Structure 1
């Protein structure tokens, strides 16, 4: 159980690895239950590796981390699906099944995460699609949707299990500016309803426009604007 005074993410003295390579070292940060946090850094600086570690796609070998009530150190394979039920994961490349309708894409995730009651599944599917502005898209195939609409489906999919936090890896990276703005406003709405957001982005315009906390991967370290590790001038150098 996650108590109200406990952070959704707590990482201390951690090192992030890809194979035998150390990507980030001495990582220390927390994310509170209602926070919106940007994750920035140059390509290859460790953003995706950090996110993958948080949802247990990469093992945490050194240090301590607790995410949504689950300790990542030595987490058993059988427990990883339970961890991920408490997370929403949004990818840049959508990862929708192209041969299944929007509804079938969502039902697949629901069945995989333990939903069994078909009436409740349909109700939740309709609810999340309405919430992202796609109430009429259930019977459409992914190729019938625009890029922005497909990303909204991905966000709906991530919201199915009412996650404590959304982990988003460049969710607007392949979208034009106007569509990106709409997707970002959707994330803001989700955050205002109490879901924490950790969003990796290269969109400097967002950083200039919104004064959310920033984590920056740089030279093997994770810098934190909350602790004044990041001079504002350095944000340009992503």
Structure 2
């Protein structure tokens, strides 16, 4: 599998804000295509703010960030949906529509991102559900599914547009350990197929069991295991 040299995420001398407070500064990080990266740090250390900045939910005021070819600083609101078509976002709390079936949840995203051909939509819906290990559940309502199944639907939703990178913010935070491991293995399978993944997590067992590059938010900076060795203590 060949990847171009341009990183899927390039952060250059960036400062991350939450409201008017600086949470992370002097950030210089590149994430290559097809790379798997853990994002760790204590609650409030800036993990979620960084991810929200990367996918265009928080404005970038200082420095430069490029995500899948889009300049995040000064990105126009009209361009954010085009950015979102090239990335996938997985939340801890699912953010599904609970008054709509699984199929309706996925169709909503496809329509919002420009899909029009109903046959292709139906085929893609079945494809992503099979990819995450869910068979005939498209007509079920979210409340009829377990937490793990709901998170798999969220991952399926994130895969609809064949993203170059998945941003996952504590994707196993609300799941029990056994279910969490299944979700983790699913992310690794997706990554092996060429999709980059950056996953915020408090679960140090994952990092021990499935080692990969680690970015640690600490004291307003980011430490990078690709550049230095550091302890994983203090990620809770």
TM-score, with length taken from structure 2 = 0.97
The question of 1:86 aligning with 2:83 is answered no
Query: 2:125 matched to which residue of 1?
Result: 125
Query: 2:6 matched to which residue of 1?
Result: 6
Stretches of structure 1 lacking an aligned partner (at least 5 in a row): none
Query: 1:171 matched to which residue of 2?
Result: 171
Which residues of 2 match residues 20-39 of structure 1 at below 5 A? 20-39=20-39
Query: 2:201 matched to which residue of 1?
Result: 201
Query: 1:236 matched to which residue of 2?
Result: 233
Structure-2 separation of matches of 1:226 and 1:218: 16
Structure-2 separation of matches of 1:159 and 1:206: 22
Query: 1:76 matched to which residue of 2?
Result: 76
Q: Which SS does the other structure have where 2:34 is aligned?
A: coil
Query: 1:213 matched to which residue of 2?
Result: 213
Query: 2:111 matched to which residue of 1?
Result: 111
How big is the alpha-carbon RMSD for the aligned residues of Structure 1 and Structure 2?
0.8
Structure-1 separation of matches of 2:183 and 2:172: 7
The one-character-per-residue Cα deviations of 1:159-196 (angstroms, maximum 9, x if unpaired) are 00000000000000110110001000000000000000
CA drift at 1:150: 0.2
- Structure 1 ranges of 4+ moved more than 2 A: none
The one-character-per-residue Cα deviations of 1:137-172 (angstroms, maximum 9, x if unpaired) are 100000000000000000000000000000000000
How many corresponding residue pairs?
Answer: 233
CA drift at 1:4: 1.0
Structure-2 separation of matches of 1:225 and 1:193: 23
The one-character-per-residue Cα deviations of 1:15-57 (angstroms, maximum 9, x if unpaired) are 0001110010001101000100000000000000000000010
The question of 1:54 aligning with 2:54 is answered yes
Q: Which SS does the other structure have where 1:96 is aligned?
A: coil
Structure-2 separation of matches of 1:199 and 1:39: 6
Structure-1 separation of matches of 2:71 and 2:35: 20
CA drift at 1:210: 2.0
Structure-1 separation of matches of 2:227 and 2:12: 15
